[in-house]
Chain A
Amino acid sequence: MITLTGVSTDQHSVTEPGGARTLVLEGVSKRFPTGTVALTDVSLGLGPGDFVTVVGPSGCGKSTLLRLASGLERATAGSIDVRAASTSYVFQDATLLEWRSAARNVELVGELRGESKAERRKRAQEALDLVGLTGFESQHPRQLSGGMRMRVSLARALVAEPELALFDEPFGALDEITRLDMQTELQKLFRLKRFAGLFITHSVSEAVYLSTKVLVMSGRPGRIVAEIPVPWDYPRAPDLRHTAEFAALTGRVSHTLGEHS
C-alpha cells in the first residue's frame, strides 16, 4: 500500500488518503539557511508492508528526506505525519559505541527507554540472534568486520520493534560481496517484521532487489520524478538478480535516473 506522486510544478499530485499510513509526507520542501534548496514538493506515503527505496544522483537530497521523516530536521514547507509507535534509523556507517560490546550496543535502546536489565538483555539477545550474530555478543566493534558491525546496527534498529524503519545508505561502505549478503539478510528481516521501510541508496540494483517500490529522484533540488513498483514476493532469492525481469526493471530505473540527473 503505497501512494506517492512525484511532483514538479507542471504535474498534479494526488496523495490518496485511506489505509493506515505510517509515514505521510505532503508537499514537503527543505531550504537550508544557506539558501540551498535540497528538496521541493515531495509527497509520499507508506504503511506496514511497504518497503520503499529512493534512488537518485548524489547530492539530490535523499538523506535530507530521511532526516526530515525522522524529525532530525524540520521541513520549510509541507507536512510530515508519522504514525509509528517506534521509529528506527540505520545510519550510513554502523555508528556503534566503540567502548560497548555488540550486545551492549543493542541494549542501549532499552537503556534509554528505561527498560529493566533482564528485559533489555533478553531482547538484545533475540535481535542479535535474528541478524546472525549469535556467539559475537561480547565482541567490541573494533573486533568485528564491517559487515558484522552493520549487523549489530541492524539488530539495534530491530530491538526497538520499529513500525517505521529508515535506512540512510547503510550498505554503501561495504564491499560488494558483503553488500549482497546484507541485502539478502535485510529482505528476510523485512518479511519477518513487516515494518514500513524507507531506504535510501545510490545503487539501482539494491533499490530494486529490496523494495516494493522504487522512487527516482532528480538532481538538486531533489524531487520525485518517477515511482516504479516492484512485483516480486518476499523472500527473494539472491539469484533473482540474475533474471531477465530483474535486468529489465533495473534498466528502466537506470534509464529514468539518466533522464533526470
Chain B
Amino acid sequence: MTAPRVAQADAPLLSEPGEPRAAAGPDAPGPWWRTALVRSVPILGALLGIAIVWYAVTYLALPANQRFLLPPPHEVFGETLTNARVMGPMAAALGRTFGVTVVGLVIAVVLGIAYAVVMSQWRIAERVLYPYAVILQTIPILALVPLIGIWLGYGFPARVVVCVIIAVFPMIANTLFGLQSASPAAHDLFTLKKASRWQRLRKLQFPAAVPSIFTGLRNAAGLAVIGAIVGDYFFQQGAVGIGGLLRVYTERLQIDALLVAVTLTALFGVLVFSVFAVLDRAVVGRWYGHTGR
C-alpha cells in the first residue's frame, strides 16, 4: 500500500495545529491560480525525481529478464492509459472512492467540529469525551474494518464509516486546540462585558479557532482519501473502488495496471490535499485582513 502514504506524508496531525501563520503575505501575490501554479513547482519536481529513479531501477538495477517487475514509465502509462478496457473500470472505481471520500470528509468535519465545541464548553465534557477521541485515533483500524463490514454490510455506508473513523481525529483535535487558543485577557474582556456563553463561543472562541479548523480540514482531507481506500481494499466485497482494484491487480500480477492505479490514487490524494491547502491559505489570509492584494 504505497499510495496512501503520499497523503499521509504531510499530515503531522498534531505537531503544529493552528500555529500563527503569516498567511497570504507578500510571498503570495497575484490571483489564486498563479499561486497554485507557483506552489505546484515542487510537486512537479518531485514527480520528475520519481521518474528518474524509476527509469534507473528499470534499466540499471533490473536484469532484462526481470524487467517485467517494473516496466519503464512510458510503457506503463503509454499503454495502460490508452487502454479503455483497463481505464473504464478504473475511472468508475475512482469515482466511487471519490464519493466515499467527500461524504466521509463532510461527516468527519461536521462531527469533529461539533464534538470539539461541546468539549470546549464544559471542562467535564472535555474530560469525559476526549478519551473516546483518542481511542478512535489509536484503535487498530485494520482490525476494525472487517467488523464494520460484518455489522454494516459492505456497501457505501460502511465505507463512509471507515473513512470517518480515520479522518475525524485531526478535526476534533485541531478544532479544540483552536477553540482554546483565545488569550486569557480576551476571555477576561468577554467576562467583564458580561458576554453570554453563546456570545463567547460565537464571537471569541470560534473565530479564534478558524485557522486551526482549516489545519484540521487539510489533514482530515488527506486522511479521508486513505480511509476511503482502506475500507475498499479490505472489504473485498461490494462495488469496488480504487482500493479494491489495487488488490485485484496485485493478485493478478497486472503490474502495469497496478502502477497506474497507484499513481492515480496518489494524484487523487495530492489533489484533495492541495485543494484544501489553497483554500486554507485563501481563507486564513483573509481572516487576518490580508485581502489577497
A-side residues, CB < 8 A to B, are 70-72, 87, 89, 91-93, 95, 97-101, 108-109, 111-113, 139-143
Contact = CB atoms under 8 A, between A and B. Distances in A.
Given A93-B185, A95-B185, A99-B210, A142 B289 contact: yes
A92 B189 CA distance: 12
Contact of A71 (B192, B204, B207): B192
Q: Which of B193, B194, B203, B288 has the most CB of A within 10 A?
A: B193
Interface of B: 183, 185-186, 188-195, 199, 203-204, 207-208, 210, 287-290
Nearest to A138: B289
Contacts of B193: 108-109, 112-113
A97 B186 contact: yes
B181 to A, nearest CB: 10
Contacts of B199: 111-112
B274 to A, nearest CB: 25
Given A91-B185, A112-B199, A98 B288 contact: yes
Contacts of B204: 97
A143 to B, nearest CB: 6
B293 to A, nearest CB: 11
Contacts of B188: 72, 89, 91
A112 B194 contact: yes
Nearest to B286: A99
Given A89-B189, A141-B289, 6 more contacts: A71-B192, A91-B185, A95-B186, A99-B289, A140-B290, A143-B289
Contact of A89 (B192, B288, B290): B192
21 contacts: A71-B192, A72-B191, A72-B192, A87-B192, A89-B189, A89-B192, A91-B189, A97-B203, A97-B204, A98-B208, A98-B287, A98-B288, A99-B207, A99-B208, A99-B287, A101-B289, A112-B199, A112-B203, A140-B290, A142-B289, A143-B289
Nearest to A113: B193
Of all A-B residue pairs in the complex, the 5 with the closest CB atoms, nearest first, are A140-B289, A95-B185, A112-B193, A91-B185, A99-B207
Contacts of B210: 99
Nearest to B23: A142
Nearest to B182: A97
A139 B195 CA distance: 25
Nearest to B190: A112
Nearest to A72: B188
A112 B195 contact: yes
